[in-house]
Amino acid sequence: MSSTKSPVYIAGLGIVSPLGIGVETTLAALETNRTAVAPLRVFPVQQQPSLPVGQVEDLRGNSHLPRAHRLGLLAAKQAMEGNDCSLDAVIVGSTTGGISQTEELLAEKNEDAGLYQYHGLSTVAETIGEELHCTGELLSVSTACSSGTVAISMACKMLESGEAQWVLAGGVDSLCLLTYYGFHSLQLVDKKGSRPFDINREGMSVAEGAAFLLLTNQKPDDCHGVILGSGLSCDAYHGAAPHPEGIGARAAMQKAMDDAALSADAIDYINLHGTGTPENDLAESKAVRKLFSTLPPLSSIKGLSGHGLAASGAIEAVVSAICLKHNLLPANCGCEKADPECGLQPLASPTEQSVTTILSNSFGFGGNNACLVVSETEKTADPYEAESVPLSIVGKSCITGAGHTMDSMGRFFTLESMAGRLDLKIIAEQLPARSIRRMKRFSQMALALAAAAKTDSGIEQSPHAVFMGSGWGALSETWDFLDKLQTTQQQFPSPIDFVGSVHNSAAGQIAISHGATGPNITSSGGDYSFEQALRATEMFLETKTRFNTAFLLAADESHPEFTKLLDASAQKTDLAADGGGGLYLCRKAIPGKVSIKLSFYKKVSETVLEQMLASLGGTEQVQQKCAMILAGIPAAQETEGEEQLNAFMQATDIDVPVIHYRKFTGEFASASAVAAVMATQLLESGEIPAGKEVLILGFGKTQTAMQLSMQ
């Protein structure tokens, strides 16, 4: 269905970084061009001298909250100042979540599970949403150092299509032992401070910060700029290193300019990702020189601020808006002699110059690339093709304690439990041993799901994109990294465990294994992570013939120490359970195939039931179409979840089978991905009458609705 693509205006800015707190302080720091990178002070370390970092001084706020949450709240509130609006969504990019607090608790050997409640990445968005009274979508993305930019890109999709009117989007990460020692273990830290594109550069400076943009498709009185376009890609090359020719980076930049309907010569300034690591700077330089026959002014601000990881893209989006307003081009601090191999001449000093359009780059582990085009003026409204084409399931897979797909579904159809923790040898039995020799449970599970879904599809071609959900990510690698750090007095951190610990590590490995160079997004929404991954799929999977296929999957591992501390639902049972589900999707109507749709996703409020029913077409439509309900109620929200389910059944007055699928799968965050495979199997087997659908409903802190039906 064609309509007009709505412009995306920047109505508010919030920024907290080593450069200072707030827009004015940040502007002054950019003008003076004095690095904020300095020896670590925010927490003690045993190995001295400490490495230079970018840290936020005198951070205040609720002391019971982890550092990332305090950074995020401070920046979010700034962005909302002077804007009396009701938020439709809060989208946060993060890689660390509340791990700084978790590290302290583990060092104390504290086993009070209630104190670990802020560990999950999703809790940052939940905390900000609660503080700002957002009853809409609270979404969390984790794509390493491009996370903040991906969050903004997601907001743009929602606003351009008219699904939302006001969205707060950005990124946040805090300094912690995991990142401080992790990047050092990879020998990616410059002991003299980051010097992007300098001939003598030796690495990055790990930093922290937060930045948020209040975005809207309603032209505000005080407009800070317009997001004209965004572009995502994946290198599908290496877990921690960029493609040496910058192929993925170039693709993301080109996609952003294409989305903005601009040619390279329309870009007045490039905000380079520029971390200061030799390989990253060289790869980005090659990408830029391939795209731009005449190079515009360009620079990286990471010599000033350090690398704020998931926050960096959002910080630099705010900096881009500052540059537009004040006609300021920041200097590339730390670059005394430009590396001739890079072939760039970054700005040596802050420059006053008229600038109307900026390209801002963000690249991260797993080959995750994301770019934005930010301008002071909107472009002419262009036609927008609403993605009403269904998502067809052409392949499926699952892993539970009962085994792979057929064993698990066999248990389900005989009404037997499939809960448990499958032996890792069985999980990985169809994977090449060499490809997984350095991977632990989470990544092996994800790779097995993707491979099995592809095999089930019967399609030789691999999908173009990867969308993954996980409530907790790689628990084994995270635990092992921190445990080794503690037992060796912080002397021998594991670089392999560090790379594997990031939430998007598994999705990156899937992309490498299958050559998936399109969008690669990992969502981390707690018990609703699969639903968030489906949300991202619906936003970014194109209808174009070459780019309309994707893996959609979600998985979580049960860890002997971590799970009982982190997962409140797993604490309610003595049976350890984990697993996940995977789908091979095609954005195309395919007769005889099952379609899947996320119809509803919102935080619980007084009107949430009414809104959910409306999203499903109303009570009468539910009565006519629904043949079965798969209900997902996490054990930790059993009381309120049952009340919500009962309210739904009373409001619809339907008499259909209701299956509480967690009673079959066991308690783990990605159980709804297995439920999607259950529903697909029911429809394909003919158990559900033609013309009817299965509803997968989620209850608890959030209410969700997925519709599956045979086309």
What SS3 string covers 632-674?
A: ECCHHHHHHHHHHHHHHHHHHCCCCCEEECHHHHCCCCCHHHH
Instruction: Count Cβ neighbours within 10 Å for each residue of 429-457 and write b for 16 or more, e otherwise.
Output: eebeeeebeebbbbbbbbbbbbbbbbebb
Per the model's pLDDT, the better-predicted residue between 550 and 388 turns out to be 550
Region 415-436: mean pLDDT is: 94
Which pLDDT value is given to residue 1? 44
Q: Dmax of the chain from CA atoms?
A: 74
pLDDT at 385 over 60: no
Is residue 94 packed enough to be buried (19+ CB in 10 Å), middle (13-18) or exposed (0-12)? Answer: buried
pLDDT at 508 over 50: yes
Amino acid at 266: A
Per the model's pLDDT, the better-predicted residue between 708 and 542 turns out to be 708
400 pLDDT tier (thresholds 50, 70, 90): very high
Question: pLDDT of 152-206, one tens digit each?
Answer: 999 999 999 999 999 999 999 999 999 999 999 999 999 999 999 999 999 999 9
Question: Mean pLDDT across the chain, nearest whole number?
Answer: 96
Task: Report the DSSP pairing between strands 37-39 and 383-385.
Answer: unpaired
Single out the residue of 84, 89, 221 nearest to residue 164, CA to CA: 89
pLDDT at 61 over 90: no
pLDDT at 60 over 90: no
What is the C-alpha to C-alpha distance for residues 445 and 439, in angstroms, rounded to an integer? Answer: 10
Region 303-332: mean pLDDT is: 98
On whether the pTM is more than 0.85, the answer is yes
373 pLDDT tier (thresholds 50, 70, 90): very high
Region 372-389: mean pLDDT is: 76
Question: pLDDT of 30-58, one tens digit each?
Answer: 999 999 999 999 999 998 999 999 999 88
What is the C-alpha to C-alpha distance for residues 471 and 47, in angstroms, rounded to an integer? Answer: 33
Residue pair 285/298 in contact by the 8 Å Cβ criterion: no
Which pLDDT value is given to residue 382? 61
Q: Is 314 helix (H, G, I), strand (E, B) or coil?
A: helix
Question: pLDDT of 578-598, one tens digit each?
Answer: 999 999 999 999 999 999 999
546 pLDDT tier (thresholds 50, 70, 90): confident
Domains for the chain: give ranges and CATH numbers.
Answer: 8-384 (3.40.47.10), 391-594 (3.40.47.10), 607-710 (3.40.47.10)
Which pair of tokens denotes residue 321?
A: 């808006």
Percent of the chain with pLDDT over 90: 94
Question: pLDDT of 72-103, one tens digit each?
Answer: 999 999 999 999 899 999 999 999 999 999 99
Which pLDDT value is given to residue 432? 92
Percent of the chain with pLDDT over 70: 98
pLDDT at 386 over 60: no
pLDDT at 434 over 90: no
pLDDT at 299 over 60: yes
